[in-house]
C-alpha cells in the first residue's frame, strides 16, 4: 500500500511540474515580447528572470544554493502580479500587435 501512495505522490508531482513549466513558458514569452517590442526592455528582462522560478530545474538550483524553497502560494501570487502587470500596465496586446506587424513586414 505504501508503494501505491508513493506512486500517487509522484504522479501529482509530475502534474504540478508540468503545469509549472507551462506557466514558466507563458511568462517567459510575455517577458520576451516586453523586452524586444515596446518602450520598457527592463521590465521584460525582469519578467523573464521571474519566469525562471516556474521551471523545476531552476527552482531546484535556487533551493540548493539558498536553502529556501518557494512555496506554491507565492508562485501563484507572482503569476497574478506578472499577468496584471503585463495586461494592465505593460499593454501586452498592443505589443503583440506591434510584434506581428513587424514580423509580417519582414
Number of domains in the chain: 1
Q: Cell for 106?
A: 519582414
The model's pTM: 0.78
Asked if residues 70 and 62 have their Cβ atoms less than 8 Å apart, the reply is yes
Q: What is the pLDDT of residues 17-62, one digit of tens each?
A: 899 999 999 999 989 888 888 777 888 899 999 999 999 888 889 8
Asked if residues 38 and 44 have their Cβ atoms less than 8 Å apart, the reply is yes
| Residue carrying the nine cell digits 502534474 | 15
Enclosing domain of residue 34: 2-105
Q: Cell for 25?
A: 513558458
Strand segments (E) across the chain: none
pLDDT at 71 over 90: no
Q: Cell for 70?
A: 518557494
Amino acid at each position: 500500500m505504501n508503494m501505491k501512495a508513493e506512486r500517487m505522490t509522484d504522479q501529482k508531482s509530475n502534474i504540478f511540474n508540468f503545469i509549472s513549466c507551462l506557466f514558466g513558458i507563458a511568462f517567459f514569452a510575455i517577458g520576451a515580447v516586453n523586452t524586444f517590442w515596446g518602450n520598457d526592455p527592463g521590465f521584460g528582462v525582469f519578467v523573464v528572470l521571474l519566469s525562471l522560478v516556474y521551471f523545476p530545474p531552476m527552482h531546484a538550483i535556487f533551493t540548493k544554493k539558498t536553502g529556501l524553497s518557494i512555496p506554491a502560494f507565492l508562485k501563484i501570487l507572482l503569476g497574478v502580479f506578472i499577468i496584471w502587470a503585463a495586461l494592465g500596465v505593460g499593454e501586452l496586446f498592443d505589443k503583440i500587435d506591434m510584434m506581428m506587424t513587424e514580423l509580417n513586414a519582414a
